[in-house]
């Protein structure tokens, strides 16, 4: 039967070996992380963005690299998923972007700070995370494919900006957010002139409209009008 001194030896030797291995692996990790995380792109703006991220405890609601709280979206790939315009608009006034939804604090960042945070998200988005976050494997069986989250070419002719910004609130062909109305068949309901006015300033078309005035360029608006006009009820998206 095991004696007390044998048990103590097991404890001391086991702990010693594991601790040594852990310290050696840590040294190796320290030497490899700069390459894997592309530290060469870690500009002062990224650093300032991280400081803002920390000093406002963004992790208290969001997750980043899968770490944080589970009250607000995972932001590791947000730069690709939503694009800098959306992120900036969100940081300027969260309530305007998601009216009546789960609330985010309006921090009152200035434009320089917003640019820093965007730079931070862009840098985070390029870290090699050993395959995280995985792409949704069941997406194709549930509904027609959507614009690739990684920014790949959209399959149904939708502009990139639609896949980044509009889907946050609107659904097309069963995919997208549920904050705003479904856009299937919007091409039947609205003509190009109306869409044009609406996209420039929703509040000017309909008083009290929930949709915010988005930071869209003229080229993006033109793209969106063309795309939205093709969304007709009788046309079945493949």
Partner 1 sequence: MKYNSQRVAWWFFATCMLLFSLQIIYGFIMAFAHVGLDGLHPWIPFNAARATHTNLLVVWLLAGFMGAAYFIIPEESQRELEWPRLAYVQLAALVIVGVTAIIGFHLNWWEGRKFLEIPRPLDFLVVIDVLLFIANIGMTLWKSERKTTTALVLFFGLLMAALLYLPGMIPTANQTMDSYWRWWVVHLWVEGVWELIMGAILSYLLIKLTGVDREIIEKWLYVIVGLTFLSGILGTGHHYYFIGTPRYWLMIGGTFSALEPLAFLGMAWYGISMAKRGGRAHPNRTALSWTVGCSVLSFVGAGFLGFAHTIPQVNLWTHGTLITAMHGHMAFWGAYGMIVLAVISYTLPLLTGRRLYDAPSATFAFWASNIGMISMTLAFAVAGVTQVVLERRVGMEFLQVQTEIQVHFWGLILAASLFTLGITAFIWNFIQHGKPVGELDTSRDAVEPAVASAPVVAAPSGAE
Site for partner 1 in 156-195 (CB under 8 A): 167-168, 175-179
Q: How far apart are CA 66 and CA 137, in angstroms?
A: 18
Please identify which residue in 40, 70, 153, 238 interacts with partner 1, judged by CB under 8 A.
70
Residue 108 near partner 1 by CB under 8 A: no
Please identify which residue in 40, 110, 131, 207 interacts with partner 1, judged by CB under 8 A.
131
Residue 154 near partner 1 by CB under 8 A: no
Q: How far apart are CA 86 and CA 29, in angstroms?
A: 35
Under 8 Å between Cβ of 121 and 87: yes
Kindly tell me which of 43 and 196 has the beta carbon lying closer to partner 1.
Answer: 43
Under 8 Å between Cβ of 72 and 83: no
Residue 136 near partner 1 by CB under 8 A: yes
Residue 205 near partner 1 by CB under 8 A: no
Q: How far apart are CA 142 and CA 174, in angstroms?
A: 9
Kindly tell me which of 115 and 129 has the beta carbon lying closer to partner 1.
Answer: 129
Please identify which residue in 40, 41, 45, 69 interacts with partner 1, judged by CB under 8 A.
69
- N-to-C CA span, the chain: 71
Kindly tell me which of 46 and 231 has the beta carbon lying closer to partner 1.
Answer: 46
Tokens standing for residue 194? 């109306």
Kindly tell me which of 146 and 216 has the beta carbon lying closer to partner 1.
Answer: 146
**CA nearest to 179, candidates 101, 113, 95:** 101
């Amino acid at each position: 039967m095991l004696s007390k001194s044998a048990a103590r030896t097991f404890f001391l030797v086991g702990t010693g070996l594991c601790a040594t291995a852990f310290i050696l692996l840590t040294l190796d990790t320290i030497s490899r992380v700069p390459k894997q995380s592309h530290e060469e792109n870690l500009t002062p703006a990224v650093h300032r963005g991280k400081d803002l991220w920390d000093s406002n405890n963004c992790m208290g609601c969001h997750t980043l690299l899968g770490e944080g709280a589970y009250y607000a979206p995972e932001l590791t790939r947000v730069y690709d998923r939503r694009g800098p315009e959306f992120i900036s608009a969100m940081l300027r006034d969260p309530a305007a972007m998601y009216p009546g939804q789960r609330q985010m604090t309006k921090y009152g960042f200035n434009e320089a700070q917003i640019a820093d945070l965007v730079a931070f998200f862009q840098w985070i988005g390029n870290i090699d995370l050993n395959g995280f976050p995985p792409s949704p494997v069941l997406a194709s069986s549930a509904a027609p494919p959507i614009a690739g989250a990684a920014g790949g070419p959209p399959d149904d002719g939708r502009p990139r900006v639609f896949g980044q910004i509009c889907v946050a609130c609107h659904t097309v062909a069963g995919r997208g957010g549920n904050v705003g109305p479904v856009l299937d068949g919007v091409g039947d309901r609205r003509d190009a002139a109306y869409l044009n006015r609406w996209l420039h300033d929703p509040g000017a078309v309909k008083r009290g409209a929930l949709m915010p005035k988005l930071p869209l360029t003229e080229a993006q608006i033109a793209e969106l009008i063309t795309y939205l006009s093709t969304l007709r009820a009788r046309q079945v998206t493949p």
